[in-house]
Amino acid sequence: MKSFIVVIAALLLIGCQQAPSSHLIVFMENEQGIDPYQTRVISSVDYLRFDDGEGSEDYVIYNRKQQKIYSINAAQKTIMVVEKKQHDLKPPIELNHTVKDLGVMDNAPTVNNKAPRHYQYYTNGKLCIDVVSLAGLMDDALAGMREFHSVLATDSATTFGNLPADLHDPCSISLSTFAPVRHMQNGFPIQEWKAGYSRSLVDYQLDYKADPELFTLPRDYFTYSVQQMREGRVDFANREIVTEPAPETEPESSTQ
C-alpha cells in the first residue's frame, strides 16, 4: 500500500496531461509459489509491449490495429502469434456480475479532482477480485490493455470446450473468457489482488520517449500461430508449417 501512495503522489508533480502518447508502466506481480517479478508495459497509440525491463530479450507485442499478439522467444528464435477470433460461445452456466464500491482510499491524494477507489468484483455472489482504480489515469494505455485482454479471451474461447465441467469456476471463466475486462471498467488498476495473485503499480512515466525499435519484430525468427501449434502443424525441428498434422507413430512391438 505504501508504494501505491508514493506512485499516486508522484502524479501531483508530473502534471495532469492525458493526451495520447507513449507511457512507461511498471507493475510488481506476486504469484503463489514463485518469487515476485516485475512487468514493464510500454504503451503507444498503436502498440503495447510487455517485458521484464530494460534489455529483455523475451517480450510480447500487441499490435492494436491488427488486433494480434506476438510472443517473442529469443532462445528459440520464434514468434508465436495470437489473433482475435470471432465466436458465439455462451457461458456453460449463468453468470451474474456485481460490483461493490468501497469508496475512496484513505489518505490518497487526488488527481484531476479524483481519488483512487476500492472496488470488489463478484460473480454469482463470489468475490473474484479486489481492484484499486484511478479514473482518468492513462486512459489510452488502459484502452490498449482492455483490447489485449479481450483478444486473449477470444483465444481462450476456442479451447474452452477442453475445460472439464468441474473446473467451470464462475470467477475463473469470467476473467479468462466471458468478462475479461470488467475489473478495468472503473479506471486504471493501481492495485489488484485475488486468491494466489496480486499486482501493484510501482512506477510509470506519462510522456515516455519510446524507441520505435521496441515495437518491431525480429526478421529472422520462425513465426507460427498458436492455432497451428494446437493442430500439430508446427515442425520446430525444420522450422516450417506443415499442411497436415504429423501422424502419430505406433510404438514398436518387441519380439521375444
Full DSSP string of 49-100? EEESSTT-SSEEEEETTTTEEEEEETTTTEEEEEE--------SS---EEEE
> Taking the model in full, what pTM does it have?
0.85
Average pLDDT over the chain, rounded to an integer: 88
Reported confidence tier of residue 165, pLDDT bands at 50, 70, 90: confident
Q: For domain 2-214, say whether CATH 2.50.20 is its number.
A: yes
For residue 100, what are the contacts with CB-CB under 8 A and spacing of at least 6?
119, 120, 122
Domain positions in the chain: 2-214
15: which residues sit within 8 A by CB, 6+ positions away?
Answer: 206
**pLDDT over 90 (residue 245):** no
Distance (Å, whole) CA 16 – CA 45:
18
What is the DSSP secondary structure assignment for residue 177, as one 8-state letter? I
